[in-house]
Each structure stands twice: as C-alpha cells, then as structure tokens.
C-alpha cells in the first residue's frame, strides 16, 4: 500500500511493531513478577499500571532502535556495567522490600486515602518503567529484531518510525494486559497466607534477578563458563 509520507506499508509496519513489542515483552523477568504480584495482592488496576510502565520502557528502547539513536546505543554500550549495577541494586532493594511486605488489612485508612492512592499508582508505573530501561539487553534485543525484519532504516521517515514505536507499545501492552488479567482472575483464590507467600516468592524472583545482575559484574570468565554448560552460541 502506497501511503503519502510513508516509505513502508503503514499497516504492515504497525503489525511488525506490535509483534516485536509483544515477543520482547513475553520473557519472564522482574517486571512480570511485579505485575503478577500486584494484580493478585492489590488488584487489576495496580497490575495494569505496572504493565503500562513496562510497555513505556519497551517503547523507549523501540524508539532508540527505530530512530537510529546511535548516541544512546553508544552510551548504553560504554556504561553497560554501571547500568547493570544500578539496575541490580534497585532490584535487590525492591526484592527485599517485596518479600517483607505485609498484605493490607480490610479498612486500612492509608489504603483509602486519595493522595496515597495517586502516589501509589504513580509508583506502580514508574517502578516497572525504570526496571525495564535499566536493562541494557533490551535495546540490543530491539536492535536485533529491527535488523532481522529489515526495519533498520525506518528512522529516515518520522511517520514510519512513530508508527513502529506505537506498534511496539501496543504489542507490549497487549502482553501485559493478558498477564494481568490472568493474574487478577486468580485473586479470589488467595488467602492472607497465600498473599504472604506470593510476596515472598515474587520478591525472591526479583531479588534473584538483582543478584544475577550484580554477579555478572564480577571479573569471571562468564563466556567460558557458559560454553562449558552448553549455553554458548
């Protein structure tokens, strides 16, 4: 389809972006653990807002790849260790906090406070956003996906790049909506004891990702160890 202002077929471009955003969002990580936990312990809105934050993070890296922002890619490559370290520390703190979190009781006056709800909702979105953007592997994944689909030159056209990034956001958001809906449907099955264990398990997952990120900074032969375990390319 030849549409004025578009170098690529806009329908195909939107579908490509949505598929890429959906696929890159699927792998289980700390953002997924947060989304599931919040959807079950707090409610669907908390889960959806967590997913929105993660989808926005994916859209940022999608924009970096789509617009060919080489200076951002160079910055990530040069400061990958710092980004991984900061992200690891954030995940460790968040994991420990989540594990120690106690479920809210019915009638808790804090939970009914409007100002607290607004700040909490803002926190749900920003926490998952920063978890996503502090993962240097995400920008590499988008770069590889765009190159594999011959979309590397899409940034020469502003309408094309904008539509592709919008598709990435919608695709990622679609995955988070599915995950959150499935988790929220299980909420009624959890007792207070179950909620406590969910906090411990999800916090443990987040903590594990943080510790792995920090451990990867140690000067060890990670590639050789991966090859020995059969994880090499």
Per-residue pLDDT for 230 more than 60? no
> Residue 56's CB: how many other CB atoms inside 10 A?
18
Per-residue pLDDT for 225 more than 70? no
Tens digit of each residue's pLDDT (9 = 90 or more) over 50-97 = 999 999 988 888 888 777 655 555 666 676 677 677 777 877 877 787
The per-residue pLDDT for 4 is 54
Q: What percent of the chain has pLDDT over 70?
A: 70
The per-residue pLDDT for 69 is 56
Q: What is the mean pLDDT of the chain?
A: 75
For residue 155, give every residue at least 6 positions away whose Cβ sits within 8 Å of its Cβ, in sequence order, or none: 66, 67, 68, 161
Q: What percent of the chain has pLDDT over 90?
A: 9
Tell me whether residue 81 is exposed, middle or buried, using C-beta atoms within 10 angstroms of its C-beta: 0 to 12, 13 to 18, 19 or more.
Answer: exposed
Tens digit of each residue's pLDDT (9 = 90 or more) over 120-150 = 788 889 888 988 887 766 767 777 777 777 7
The per-residue pLDDT for 41 is 81
Residues composing the chain: 233
At 107, the pLDDT band (50, 70, 90 cuts) reads very low
Per-residue pLDDT for 154 more than 80? no
The per-residue pLDDT for 83 is 66
The per-residue pLDDT for 233 is 44
Q: Mean per-residue pLDDT for 195-208?
A: 76
**E strand or H helix that includes residue 166:** helix 158-185
Domain locations in the chain as residue ranges: 10-80+97-196
Dist. CA 193–CA 181, nearest whole Å: 22
The per-residue pLDDT for 37 is 85
pTM for the whole structure:
0.70
The per-residue pLDDT for 110 is 46
Dist. CA 74–CA 63, nearest whole Å: 15
Residue owning tokens 């995955």: 175
């Amino acid at each position: 389809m030849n549409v004025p202002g578009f170098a690529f077929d806009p329908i195909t471009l939107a579908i490509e972006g949505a598929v890429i955003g959906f696929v890159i969002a699927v792998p289980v990580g700390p953002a997924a653990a947060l989304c599931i936990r919040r959807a079950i312990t707090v409610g669907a809105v908390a889960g959806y807002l967590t997913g929105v934050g993660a989808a926005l993070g994916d859209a940022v890296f999608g924009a970096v790849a789509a617009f060919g922002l080489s200076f951002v890619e160079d910055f990530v490559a040069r400061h990958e260790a710092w980004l991984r370290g900061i992200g690891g520390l954030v995940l460790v703190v968040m994991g420990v906090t989540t594990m120690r979190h106690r479920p809210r009781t019915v009638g808790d006056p804090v939970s009914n406070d409007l100002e607290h709800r607004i700040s909490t909702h803002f926190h749900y979105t920003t926490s998952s956003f920063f978890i996503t953007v502090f993962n240097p592997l995400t920008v590499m994944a988008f770069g590889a996906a765009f190159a594999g689909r011959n979309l590397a030159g899409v940034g020469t056209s502003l309408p094309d790049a904008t539509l592709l990034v919008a598709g990435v956001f919608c695709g990622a958001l679609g995955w988070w909506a599915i995950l959150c809906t499935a988790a929220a449907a299980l909420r009624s099955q959890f007792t207070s004891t179950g909620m406590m264990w969910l906090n411990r398990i999800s916090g443990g997952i987040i903590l594990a990702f943080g510790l792995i990120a920090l451990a990867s900074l140690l000067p060890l032969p990670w590639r050789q160890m991966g090859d020995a375990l059969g994880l090499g390319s």
